[in-house]
Structure 1
Amino acid sequence: MSEYLRPNTDSVFGAVHLGYVVVQSNRLTDWRRFGAEAIGVHVDEPDRDRLRFRLDDRTCRFLIQRGPAEDVTALGWHIDDHETFDRIVARVTDRGVPIADGTAEEAAARGVQRLWRFPGPKGIVQEIFTVPVTTPEPLRMISSGWVTGEAGLGHVAIISREPESMRGYYQTVFDCRLSDYIDENISGLKMKARFLRVNERHHSIAIANIRGIKIDPIRTSVQHINIQSETLDDMLASFERVRELGFRMAWSVGQHTNDRELSYYCVTPSGFELEVGWNPIAIGPELESTWEPTTYQGISIWGHKPVGETVLGKFAQFRQAVRSTTTPEITVPELAGGLSR
């Protein structure tokens, strides 16, 4: 890890990377076909109740395990060293938030030697580990490769009714830095998104909210998970396969205003979206030293048009938004850094 990422010994920025995603679903057959045949990742089936997606030499980047949630249930964060790990643990426990040791079976399923977990916003469990399990077994997949490494797996995007509390959480735990904002109008509603980085990837966490009204129009805890294709040809080929195999497309190919990534969005078998992208900006040493957050108007320079939008789909979103007003969003106020709910 480069020294420029650690301006002082207390910061953990640069030593944190999104390592894996845990999904609970009863649609394992659809997930297997979606991963292997549409997106083009390596799929293993350790037993009848679990699938694992590989993108590189790690044994697990996505764990799909049988269950009713049809949602992301945990995010796994790779911590570079034990000193940084201890610092994060102290931040959490010193504020009265419990940390639990994962079982040996849970660690093995996720492809790590050991893991520890603690509560996260919107009920998404945060898991931390220091040693991933790798394998020399060749990847069996349609794609030629995926970009991970120091930038981590990709990013997670979340719609929140308590965006400042969520931002405070990731600042407290991981010393995230603000990359930029996007303001966008969607169906007459004003949305603000903030993009947070924990390493050289432009953002590992994106948090969006509807301004002026506390609603959440989607059922799942995350809006989308992003992975990064190694080549433009890979990204475009997977776009065509997703359509040809009958999986639902959410947004057509386009280019984002802030990180300049070319991407498309499709709907996973569990209902949240997967963004498959290519060539986003990386905030390396030169950019990091001078980076200033900017507010962009609109999500995309071009493209990213909605695909297959229906009246019934809009009505379902409206019902979900109304339902969301009746229950408070799960937050972890002890780790929100004093920022408001």
Structure 2
Amino acid sequence: MNTTASVFGAVHLGYIVIETSRFTDWRRFGTDAIGMHHDDLSRDLMRFRLDDQDCRFLIRRGPAEDVVATGWHVDDHASFEQIEARIRAHGVPCVEGSADEAALRGVERLLRFPGPKGITQEIYTTPVKSGEPLRMLASGFVTGDSGMGHIALTSTKPARLRGYFHTVFDARLTDYIDETISGFKLRIRFLRVNERHHSIAIAAVRGLPIDPIRTRVQHLNVQVSTLDDLARSYERVCELGFDMALSVGQHTNDKELSFYARTPSGFEWEVGWNPLVVDESTWEPSTHQGISIWGHTPVGRTIVDKLDQFRFGARSLARPENTVPALSGAGIPDD
């Protein structure tokens, strides 16, 4: 339990760091399919922009083929220091980012610390704004006070992950979804740190301590400005030959229209439009049956894909999941 004042509402998903060796494919995926602005920094570094912030996705060369860090924009220095104090009070090490590391991410005052599933968590205060006009196929992306989208994780210890984000960011439970996907019965928890319906989703297989996903994240989400942006991005993903994971559909809980493409690194990328915004004065958590009101039909999945997923799940039994126990505590009972 946090004894200090809440930082809820002062935290926003700000950037994602992805490690990959597939630079050419990622450049095509980000610019030509999703429609983001692209900047080459060197042979081993590139960035994508969604708005006037210098960096929303930092792509660096490496073997992970995965998300390796998430960056959270904190509104003010007082909230930043409050989060840092919480982490240090629990005995978890914090490392100040160097000036070069902060510049790569387009931020000032960078601090990093361990996060669940080996994803480094980073907080920063002032984002650096670019004076260069956006060159992108999308007309725009929704960022601002609600942050730039969300991340979705799978976990064998979902209450611990929820406890972690509550301890660090005062994350609140928005709602649950119960769903069966590829034979797995899932319960998905949706957590918010501001007005966005969720900045973090945590999916767990009910009754089995397995994680069927190879990557640290199951998917990332960005929100486009218009329905036309959504339709055109869907069309470009298909025309360019990138794999589509789920067709266009509408979610039961946040009512967002979206589709899911498969990135060159293997995790999924959701492009969404028009999710509802939470009204804190009236919102009560509830449980929804199924992720979609309509659509979100699996595309091109074969029995081989399903067998691979079961293999990953079986291997996870021998692979302990890091939940950063000092910050997740005993978790939060929520079932």
TM-score tier by shorter-chain length is over 0.9
- Match of residue 322, structure 2, among 307, 312, 330: 330
**For the Cα contact (< 8 Å) 1:41–1:55, is it kept in 2?**
yes
What value does the CA root-mean-square deviation take over the aligned residues?
1.2
Of 273, 276, 289 in structure 1, the residue corresponding to residue 281 of structure 2 is: 289
Letter in 2 for 1:145: G
Deviation at 1:339, TM superposition (A): 1.8
Match for residue 39 of structure 2 among 39, 44, 51: 44
Provide Cα deviations, 1:28-79, integer angstroms capped at 9, x if missing partner.
1100011111110000001111110000000100001000000000000000
1:315 aligns with 2:288: no
Cα offset for 1:189?
Answer: 2.2
1:285-304 CA-to-partner distances (Å, cap 9, x unmatched) read xx210110010000000000
Alignment partners' CA distance in 1, 2:142 and 2:329:
32
Whole-angstrom CA distance in 2 between matches of 1:172 and 1:25: 31
Choose the corresponding residue for 2:112, options 94, 102, 117. Answer: 117
Q: Deviations over 1:147-167 (max 9, x none)?
A: 000010100000001100000
Separation in 1, partners of 2:227, 2:257: 8
Letter in 2 for 1:292: E
Match of 1:162 among 157, 160, 164: 157
Q: 2:32 aligns to what SS in structure 1?
A: helix
Give, in angstroms, the shift of residue 310 of structure 1.
Answer: 1.0
Candidates 138, 159, 171, aligned match of 2:166: 171
Give 1:340 deviation, angstroms: 7.3
Q: Deviations over 1:223-261 (max 9, x none)?
A: 000000000000110000000000000000000000000
Contact 1:200 1:282 in 2 (8 A): yes
> CA separation in 2, counterparts of 1:190 and 1:315?
16
Residue 103 of structure 1 aligns with an amino acid whose one-letter code is S
Q: CA deviation at 1:186?
A: 1.7
8 Å CA contact 2:182–2:306 kept in 1: the answer is no
Q: In the alignment, what sits opposite 1:11?
A: 6
Q: 2:242 aligns with which of 216, 231, 247?
A: 247
Check whether the contact 1:180–1:195 (CA below 8 A) recurs between aligned residues: yes
TM-score by length of 2: 0.97
> Residue in 1 aligned with 2:210?
215
Q: Which residue of 1 aligns with 2:48?
A: 53
- Name the structure 1 match of 2:262: 267
Moved over 6 A (4+): none
Give identity over the alignment, percent: 65
- Separation (CA, whole Å) in 1 of partners of 2:119 and 2:226: 31
1:190 offset after TM fit, Å?
A: 1.2
Find the aligned partners of 1:333 and 1:9 in 2 and give their Cα distance. 20
1: CA distance, partners of 2:4 / 2:103: 32
Question: Could you tell me whether the CA contact under 8 Å between 1:43 and 1:51 is conserved in 2?
Answer: yes
Alignment partner of 1:225 is 2:217: no
Residue type matched to 2:312 in 1?
A: Q
5+ long unaligned stretches in structure 2: none
Give the 3-state SS of the residue equivalent to 1:30 in structure 2.
Answer: helix
Give, in whole Å, the separation in 2 of the partners of 1:310 and 1:160: 24
Deviations along 1:98-119, one digit per CA (max 9) or x if unpaired, are 0001111111111112311000
Q: 2:54, 2:130 within 8 Å by CA — same for their partners in 1? A: yes
Alpha-carbon separation, structure 2, partners of 1:185 and 1:68: 32
Contact 1:156 1:204 in 2 (8 A): yes
Per the TM alignment, residue 86 of structure 1 is displaced from its structure 2 partner at its CA by 0.8
With normalisation by structure 1, the TM-score equals 0.95
The answer to whether structure 1 residue 183 and structure 2 residue 168 are counterparts is no
Letter in 1 for 2:139: S
Quote the residue 1:146 is aligned against: 141
- Following superposition, the deviation at residue 120 of structure 1 comes to 0.4
Q: Distance in 2 between matches of 1:108 and 1:271?
A: 28
CA distance in 2 between partners of 1:9 and 1:136 (Å): 38
* Contact 2:167–2:327 (8 Å) recurs in 1: yes
Structure 1: stretches of 5+ with no match in the other structure: 1-7
Q: Does 2:188 match 1:193?
A: yes
Q: Contact (CA 8 Å) 2:22, 2:264: kept in 1 or not?
A: yes
* Aligned amino acid, residue 119 of structure 2: I
